[in-house]
């Protein structure tokens, strides 16, 4: 029995390893380039992956590339939970928490409504709205992992990552100027930057470029948005089940089994968050977990790039670009409006 299991593992490894290795090589190259040129790592991973997309067509690398794009992605999302502790959220007081929840919910609702108006499926609105509202490329990958298998899914995810990474970089450069024009103090500036910029790295870049108080506030608010992944992925899983059930009844086939409301990787995300909040993990374990999470997400992004042709992305047209720009502007207006109504100062 034991020997059979070991042989099974060996076979599985020899089947997956070429694709896993190539995904890892592309991820390392993307991280190197991102560090040296200061551009979003996910964008580099995507472009480098697309440059070698012939590897995923058939042959030895295909199974490993598929595995990286699906399973490694989920482990990366699970480990994101190590970024957040309950104490960080508590320190900010309740007002920013309420504002983040409201902003994320209305941005996603706006995305779904606008997607329908523009002739897309609601899933695309949830994907783009979630990416803009929560945490950029990581959120796009996490939400799409809860979606049903669909020929357009990878293409939609890929396009969302390109769009959200580009908009995030623009926001990192422009929003500090906006904050100065609006005359916000250090804490409110941090709240605005953390509440509006898409990717975590860009929030950190913009926040700390304006000083440590602004950087700290921006980072914590951003991490509150990351925590919103949990209910949003649960909602994505529910939407998926509902659509499959409708399809089944239309075709007269048996109803699909009800999946667990939270996919396993989201449960792990929450578990990691709780463990981190208890403060039992040494600092080096938490930072190693963050590094591994980042590595997994970059590798899975590279694998998704490998599965895509540039012509597929270019054929998407201008409407999704408009949708994401509208969502980005909407989020900024909502956050600024909520700050004016409630004042972003918590009890911290």
Tokens encoding 48: 């480098």
Q: What are phi and psi of 204, to 5 degrees?
A: -60, -45
What is the predicted pLDDT for the residue at 347? 37
Q: Please count the other Cβ atoms lying within 10 Å of the Cβ belonging to residue 105.
A: 17
What is the predicted pLDDT for the residue at 190? 93
Rounded Cα distance, 65 and 84, in Å: 30
Three-state secondary structure along the chain?
Answer: CHHHHHHHHHHHHHHHHHHHHHHHHHHHHHHHHHHHHCCCHHHHHHHHHHHCHHHHCCCCCHHHHHHHHHHHHHHHHHHHHHHCCHHHHHHCCHHHHHHHHHHHHHHHHHHHHHHHHCCCCHHHHHHHHHHHHHHHHHHHHHHHHCCCCCCCHHHHHHHHHHHHHHHHHHHHHHHHHHHHHHCCCHHHHHHHHHHHCCCHHHHHHHHHHCCHHHHHHHHHHHHHHHHCHHHHHHHHHHHHHHHHHHHHHHHCCCCCCCCCCCCHHHHHHHHHHHHHHHCCCCHHHHHHHHHHHHHHHHHHHHHHHHCCCHHHHHCCCCHHHHHHHHHHHHHHHHHHHHHHHHCCCCCC
Write out the chain's pLDDT in tens, 348 residues: 567 778 788 888 889 999 999 999 999 999 999 889 877 788 788 889 988 888 887 778 989 998 998 888 889 878 888 877 777 777 777 888 889 999 999 999 999 999 999 999 889 999 999 999 998 888 898 898 888 777 778 888 888 988 888 888 889 889 999 999 999 999 899 999 999 999 887 888 888 888 888 888 888 888 888 889 889 988 888 888 888 788 777 777 666 665 555 678 878 888 998 899 898 889 999 999 989 998 998 898 888 888 877 776 676 678 888 999 999 999 999 999 999 887 544 433
How many residues are given for the chain?
348
Rounded Cα distance, 162 and 139, in Å: 13
What is the predicted pLDDT for the residue at 91? 73
What is the predicted pLDDT for the residue at 113? 96
Tens digit of pLDDT for each residue in 197-248? 998 878 888 888 888 888 888 888 888 888 898 899 888 888 888 887 887 7
What is the predicted pLDDT for the residue at 260? 58
What is the predicted pLDDT for the residue at 18? 92
pTM of the model: 0.79
Contact 202, 40 (CB under 8 A): yes
What is the predicted pLDDT for the residue at 39? 74
Contact 288, 81 (CB under 8 A): no
Angle at 52 between CA 168 and CA 291, to 5 degrees: 50
What is the predicted pLDDT for the residue at 184? 92
Angle at 74 between CA 73 and CA 75, to 5 degrees: 95
Angle at 331 between CA 191 and CA 125, to 5 degrees: 140
């Amino acid at each position: 029995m034991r020997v059979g299991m070991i042989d099974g593992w060996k076979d599985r490894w020899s089947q997956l390893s070429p694709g896993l290795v190539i995904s890892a090589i592309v991820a390392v190259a993307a991280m190197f380039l991102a560090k040296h040129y200061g551009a979003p790592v996910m964008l580099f991973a995507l472009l480098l992956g697309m440059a070698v997309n012939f590897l995923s067509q058939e042959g030895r690398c295909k199974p490993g590339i598929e595995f990286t794009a699906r399973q490694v992605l989920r482990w990366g999302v699970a480990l994101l939970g190590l970024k957040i502790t309950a104490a960080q959220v508590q320190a900010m007081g309740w007002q920013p928490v309420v504002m983040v929840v409201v902003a994320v919910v209305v941005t996603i609702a706006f995305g779904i409504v606008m997607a329908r108006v523009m002739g897309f499926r609601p899933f695309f609105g949830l994907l783009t709205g979630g990416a803009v509202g929560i945490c950029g490329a990581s959120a796009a990958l996490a939400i799409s992992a809860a979606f049903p298998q669909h020929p357009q899914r990878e293409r939609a995810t890929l396009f969302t990552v390109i769009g959200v990474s580009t908009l995030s970089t623009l926001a990192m450069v422009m929003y500090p100027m906006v904050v100065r024009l609006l005359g916000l103090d250090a804490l409110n500036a941090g709240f605005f930057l953390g509440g509006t910029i898409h990717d975590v790295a860009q929030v950190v870049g913009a926040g700390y470029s304006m000083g440590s108080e602004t950087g700290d506030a921006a980072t914590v608010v951003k991490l509150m948005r990351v925590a919103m992944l949990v209910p949003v992925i649960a909602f994505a899983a529910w939407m998926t089940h509902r659509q499959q059930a409708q399809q089944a009844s239309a075709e007269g086939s048996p109803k699909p089994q009800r999946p667990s409301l939270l996919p396993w990787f989201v449960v792990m995300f929450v578990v990691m968050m709780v463990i981190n909040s208890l403060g039992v993990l040494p600092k080096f374990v938490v930072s190693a977990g963050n590094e591994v999470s980042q590595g997994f997400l970059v590798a899975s992004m590279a694998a998704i790039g490998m599965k895509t042709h540039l012509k597929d992305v270019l054929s998407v047209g201008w409407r999704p670009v408009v949708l994401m720009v509208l969502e980005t502007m909407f989020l900024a207006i909502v956050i600024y409006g909520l700050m004016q109504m409630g004042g972003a100062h918590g009890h911290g």
